[in-house]
Amino acid sequence: MEPAKTEEPQKVIFSAIQPSGTITLGNYLGALKNWISLQDEYDCIYALADLHTITVRQDPAAFRRHTLEAYALLLACGIDPKKSLFFIQSHVPTHAQLAWVLDCYTQFGELQRMTQFKDKSAKHPDNINAGLFTYPPLMAADILLYQTDLVPVGVDQKQHLELTRNIAERFNGIYGPTFKLPDAYIPKNGAKIMSLQDPTKKMSKSDENANASIAVLDKPEDIMRKFRRAVTDSEACVRYAEGKDGVNNLMGIYSCVTGKTNAQTEAEFAGKGYGDFKAAVGEAVAEHLRPIRERYADYIRNRDYLEQCWGEGARKAYAISIRTLRKVMKKIGFVPPKPM
């Protein structure tokens, strides 16, 4: 008689997003939409990285509001607390505690080489703080606490994941196996959504041009207006080709929300101008985002439910992460505390 087959445990995926400002169409199609689809295949752990946010000065009332709104919006986008672990980073103290430990196993030169530190220092020259410099070990703590297998990363985060692996390998080399080494997860159909006003740049919530980005919660009329003003070219032909950055971007967005291929889009708009095309993309996006806006309106009115979700998420996250933290502290030689 053959032994019964045991199912392999699902791999752990960890990802986090900052609750600063507006969540854009680029954030949604490039990352959040993939978060939703991963929930049925992996053991997903998602966080609002509010500790990372304060490397830039925040207005307290606005920061609190943005965090609340971002939590409600991510639920509205499809994160299911019954399927995934979803919490607010600052509610789980193990993150900050492990971050300090990992600071002590990260070399100064490694942090100096981080391109994001250089970029943000140039952007905020009046506030080049130590937290901005030690941001990567906190990110490493976020990931390593949960013995993460896979981390969805964009091009701008690959360097941080490489450093996370280096820190984990260094610690494991000194103290023996402690941390799992996470690998990058490259989405099968990841979308890189560019600015509507400068399609050579990524769509960003910090763009000073209000017409450059679409917010997930934008009203349909605002979505239509922004797409009508989107930069294209003088050819007036809807086709995907090198040098047609604006049209290529719009076609990519249209494909994400309708499921149509570039060839189908080209056939649909053969003989039609950019006015028709922009209107169709705007209508498709507005309709795609409509149920998210409706769910968000329900969630944001129900503070009790939100608190229940993030409270339960924090409890579960702490229960998992404290096991890793205790193992780390024991291996280093800290005297274990008595239960409080």
- Read off the pLDDT of residues 109-149 as tens digits, 9 standing for 90 and up: 999 888 878 777 777 788 888 888 899 999 999 999 999 99
Write the DSSP symbol of residue 202.
Answer: B
For residue range 233-252, list pLDDT tens digits in order.
988 899 999 989 999 999 99
Same domain assignment for residues 271 and 327: no
Closest CA relative to residue 192, chosen from 53, 20, 24: 24
Residues with a catalytic annotation lie at 120, 202, 205
The reported pLDDT for the residue numbered 8 is: 72
Evaluate whether 94 touches 316 at the Cβ level (below 8 Å): no
Closest CA relative to residue 196, chosen from 184, 180, 179, 210: 210
Quote the CA–CA distance of 192 and 154 in Å, as a whole number.
9
Report the CATH number that the domain containing residue 163 is assigned in CATH: 3.40.50.620
Residue 213 in any domain: the answer is no
The boundaries of the domain holding residue 133 are: 12-191+303-332
Same domain assignment for residues 256 and 157: no
Closest CA relative to residue 26, chosen from 187, 177, 203, 223: 203
Report the CATH number that the domain containing residue 238 is assigned in CATH: 1.10.240.10
DSSP annotation string for 222-256 = HHHHHHHT----SS------TT-HHHHHHHHHHHH
Where the chain has pLDDT below 70, the residues are 1-7, 21, 155-156, 188-190
Quote the CA–CA distance of 207 and 331 in Å, as a whole number.
46
Closest CA relative to residue 13, chosen from 139, 110, 118, 147: 147
Residue 339 in any domain: the answer is no
The reported pLDDT for the residue numbered 225 is: 96
Evaluate whether 189 touches 30 at the Cβ level (below 8 Å): no
The reported pLDDT for the residue numbered 156 is: 66
What tokens appear for 248 in the block? 């290529």
Residue 199 in any domain: the answer is no
Same domain assignment for residues 141 and 273: no
Confirm whether pTM is higher than 0.85.
yes
Evaluate whether 190 touches 37 at the Cβ level (below 8 Å): no
State the total domains in the chain.
2
For residue range 170-188, list pLDDT tens digits in order.
999 999 999 999 999 987 6
The reported pLDDT for the residue numbered 20 is: 75
The reported pLDDT for the residue numbered 3 is: 54
Q: How many helices (H) and strands (E) does the chain have?
A: 15, 5
